[in-house]
Amino acid sequence: MTGDRAGEWLARESDRVARAAVGPRAEALGRVEHTADTIAFVSGLPDARLGELLRFPGDCYGFVLSMEADGLNAVLLDRDSAIEAGARVHGTGDVIRVPVGPGLLGRVVDPLGRPLDGGEAVAAEDHLQIEREAPRILDRDLVDTPLETGLLVADTLFPIGRGQRELIIGDRATGKTALALDAMVNQRHSDVVCVYVAIGQRASAVERVIEDMRAHGAFDRAVFVVAAAASASGMQWIAPFAGFSIAEYFRDRGRDALIVLDDLTKHAATHREISLLTREPPGREAYPGDIFYLHARMLERAARLSPALGGGSLTALPIAETDAGNLSAYIPTNLISITDGQIVLDRRLFAAGQRPAVDVGLSVSRVGGKAQKPALRKASGRIRLDYAQFQELEMFTRFGGLSDERVKARIVRGERIRALLTQQRLSPLRMADSVALLTGLAEGLFDAIPPEAVAALRERLPKRLDAQASAAVRAIETSGELDDEARTALRDVVRSLIASPDAT
């Protein structure tokens, strides 16, 4: 090193030493008394607060879940951490925060924002607390803008509005995740940002969701927050809260976001596991008494904001699993009472080949037609009532033939409705396609063809509409209105398809 460079270095270091603060520094230190699985009982941090982030040896972290008279219970966020009794614990004075911003779009991360897709670290625009207050009533606006799922059964019978909380519930392997994935895929035609949160799911199942979204959806407008079954209980516990904070970043900037929580039944089981390890008194089905508040304070964060706050929205599609179709179990009843409606999937319908296997009688949307485009509302008409009557009449057909012509006509119409509502995965319908199908149904055009032919007709419909009724399609997609001229154009296209089933 030359003399000039050595002098510059010495001057720089001398200046840094002169500006360094000299004197005692206070630091909050605690001690691990004992551990149990991913729970550590810590003493010596009297000023710690609930939810505070703690630093353990080996650069491991945890957070304060509950407090006792002589210490606190901390949940570790790393399953591989080897924390032993006597280890030092440092209080950070801050709570858990998650990175947010456009840099998360198209990424797969864990609940702390660390990449799981092999990419570079997330370029965060800000860091938000995972626990945030829900918008006040005065800060909310009416839910009247549809979030189109591309599923005829949902958009027609149980419309979902932007800012709504619609529960998807059913037994294991009945298509709950597939229904939510279809809703996410359909947002490729909109400006909605999707956030998928995997809680305790198998890694292979999460990979399928990501690959399907990459192949069919707007992957560059989606964020995947993954706390798989192999993750620590603490990571699974914070995952939905972190997902909400990521989605709220976009909502608070006037954009529309959709969050899918897959699933809250496993989240409740994780909360029960952690609470029992921290010696919380168990209640019904061994769940702690705060389980309702846990999910209520989370789902209340989904809302549509008022124009004064930008008018953004956050729609939540929480998923819950039932056992043998028991909707009266503790967690299902809690979630049903918190949300604005539920789409119930039935195992019997799934086994019969009806996909999505939606139970029309038990499903409901408490927003209803207020979040439905006028064209779709006008075209749907009495479809739900007709289908419910068909299901009731179908039960009696097992006891013998029917002689009443009116009853036979209702059976024929109901079979066509069921064929229309049956839809393959990852094949969303545009609103114009749905309106055209419902118009043909209302006109009785499908009564002349067998139910098996409906699926092939539906596949060919979009191309024929674009070719022969493009003006009507544009009018419906832009204004959402259905005038007589557009209705006639759609009806003629459906009629021509039925008349020439082999034409493309």
List residues with catalytic annotation: 366
107 marked as binding residue: no
3-state secondary structure 123-192: CCCEEEECCCCCCCHHHECCCCCECCCCCHHHHHHCCCECCCECEEEECCCCCHHHHHHHHHHHHHHCCC
177 marked as binding residue: yes
Residues 6+ apart with CB under 8 A from 365: 157, 158, 159, 160, 164, 166, 340, 341, 371
113 marked as binding residue: no
Query: What count of other Cβ atoms lies within 10 Å of the Cβ of residue 236?
Result: 25
488 marked as binding residue: no
Angle at 233 between CA 227 and CA 238, to 5 degrees: 60
- Amino acid identity at 429: L
400 marked as binding residue: no
175 marked as binding residue: yes
| Residue 385, SS3 per DSSP | helix
The Cα 104–Cα 245 span in angstroms is 12
* Residue in 351, 371, 237, 252 with CA at minimum distance from that of residue 309: 252
The Cα 402–Cα 253 span in angstroms is 59
Give the pair of three-digit tokens for residue 244: 């909400």
The Cα 83–Cα 211 span in angstroms is 37
| Residue 475, SS3 per DSSP | helix
Whole-number Cα distances in Å, 458 to 157, 382, 446, 466, 497: 18, 21, 11, 14, 9
Binding residues for ATP, as ranges, are 170-177
The annotation places the binding site at: 170-177
